[in-house]
A and B are shown apart, each in its own frame.
Chain A
Amino acid sequence: MELAISIVTGFMILGALYAIHAKDLLSAVIACGIVGYSLVICFLLLRAPDLAIVQIVVDTITLIIMVAVVINSSREESYSRFDTQGYITAATGILIIGILLYFFIISIQSLDVLGKSSLRMAKYYIEGAAQKTGSANLVTGVVFDFRGYDTMGEAVVLVTAVLGVLTILRLKGKK
């Protein structure tokens, strides 16, 4: 299974690289779709059907919206040559990425193996969730009962995001 996940992850990296370098913005959007749907396959291989359903639906809707936006606007990517300041910015970015990678390698050695974590809270959730919440789906039991604050926060964040989008994109004021 790790081999399959590695192959799919390789596809995701290729799609992301192509999305950066594509001349046509529509091709870049479709290449972003490669990343999303490969992530769906990864979730299915890791046996997380809830996440796979949410990911495939949200990715499809996002792809439709992005294609509609790209068709309505200009499809050519605005391309400019690097000047001196561009080189300085790129060098600074590479330096910061290197520093972050160093700390990442230090911190990843103290983590558990993926999937074999010894988290006490997760064990408590898994053991008694069906009896405590009465929900046959464990994910819904955790999301809406044990972690109700998180879900309420997500709903409020979504409403706030929609208010921001309306404020920015509305061209004609109310009469």
Chain B
Amino acid sequence: MTIIVKKTTQLIAGMVFMYGIYVIVHGHLTPGGGFAGGVVIAGSFILVTLAYGGDFLKLVREESGTTIVESFATILVIMIAVSGFLFGTKIFFNNFLPKGIVGHLVSAGVLPLYNIFVGTEVAASIFIIFLSLIIFKEESPK
């Protein structure tokens, strides 16, 4: 890509990443949540990849790392769901943490944790679909 695209990417990509984290963390207060924020985070990675090419992120190793992160996030979501068994009543997806005050950042029990893990999982999934469609062509044997 040209120098204009690269410089603009340098300026924008970090802000896009931070905005994705904001959408995920404030998911139980404002519109948005794990899915939207995860896709925004994946968008920042896609921006960097499109501007600087496949070699910029050392993508051969990034690919296996992304699958591990995504599977790990899913396992964590299920483990948080199961951990309701250990505390309180025997209900799957029990909201066992204290609720707090409605409208504060630290409130709503386990819902922010669900948001964070689902966001991680969605970001990894979208990014690896993008990588498999774009990058695998380059490493195929001629």
**Which residues on A are within 8 Å of B, measured CB to CB?**
49-50, 52-54, 57-58, 60-61, 64-65, 68-69, 72, 130-131, 133-137, 139-141, 143-145, 148-149, 151-152, 155-156, 158-159, 161-162, 165-166, 169-172
Q: Is the interface of A mostly helix, strand, loop or mixed?
A: helix
A sample of 22 inter-chain contacts (CB < 8 A) reads: A50-B31, A50-B32, A53-B23, A57-B39, A65-B133, A130-B102, A135-B28, A135-B102, A136-B107, A144-B111, A144-B115, A145-B93, A149-B93, A152-B81, A159-B125, A165-B133, A166-B128, A169-B136, A170-B136, A171-B141, A172-B136, A172-B141
Chain B residues near A158 (CB, 8 Å)?
Answer: 121-122, 125
Bound Cα distance A101, B103 (Å): 46
Chain A residues near B40 (CB, 8 Å)?
Answer: 57
Proximity string of chain B (59-103) to chain A, C-beta cutoff 8 Å, 1 when within and 0 when not: 000000001001100100110010000000000110100011011
Which B residues between 110 and 139 are near A, CB-CB below 8 angstroms? 111, 114-115, 118, 121-122, 125-126, 128-130, 132-134, 136-137, 139
Nearest-CB residue, chain B, relative to A67: B50
Given A155-B74, A169-B132, is A134 in contact with B36 using a C-beta cutoff of 8 Å? no
**Among B36, B74, B107, B109, which residue has its beta carbon within 8 angstroms of that of A54?**
B36
Chain A residues near B92 (CB, 8 Å)?
Answer: 148-149
Contacts beyond the supplied A64-B46, A136-B108, A171-B141: 13 A-B pairs with Cβ under 8 Å: A53-B36, A61-B42, A61-B43, A61-B126, A65-B129, A69-B134, A133-B95, A134-B109, A136-B103, A140-B27, A144-B111, A169-B132, A171-B136
Verify A165–B139 contact, CB threshold 8 A. Answer: no
Chain B CB within 10 Å, residue with most, of A68, A134, A139, A172: A134
**Which residues on B are within 8 Å of A, measured CB to CB?**
23, 27-33, 35-36, 39-40, 42-43, 46, 50, 67, 70-71, 74, 77-78, 81, 92-93, 95, 99-100, 102-103, 107-109, 111, 114-115, 118, 121-122, 125-126, 128-130, 132-134, 136-137, 139-141
Number of A-B contacts (CB under 8 A): 146
Verify B50–A134 contact, CB threshold 8 A. Answer: no
Nearest-CB residue, chain B, relative to A49: B31
Verify A143–B33 contact, CB threshold 8 A. Answer: yes
* Leading 9 A-B pairs by shortest Cβ distance: A134-B99, A148-B93, A49-B31, A171-B140, A135-B108, A134-B108, A135-B28, A57-B39, A144-B114
Given A148-B92, A151-B118, A159-B74, is A141 in contact with B42 using a C-beta cutoff of 8 Å? no
Nearest-CB residue, chain B, relative to A162: B125
Verify B28–A141 contact, CB threshold 8 A. Answer: yes
Chain A residues near B100 (CB, 8 Å)?
Answer: 134
Chain A residues near B74 (CB, 8 Å)?
Answer: 155-156, 159
Chain B residues near A148 (CB, 8 Å)?
Answer: 81, 92-93, 114
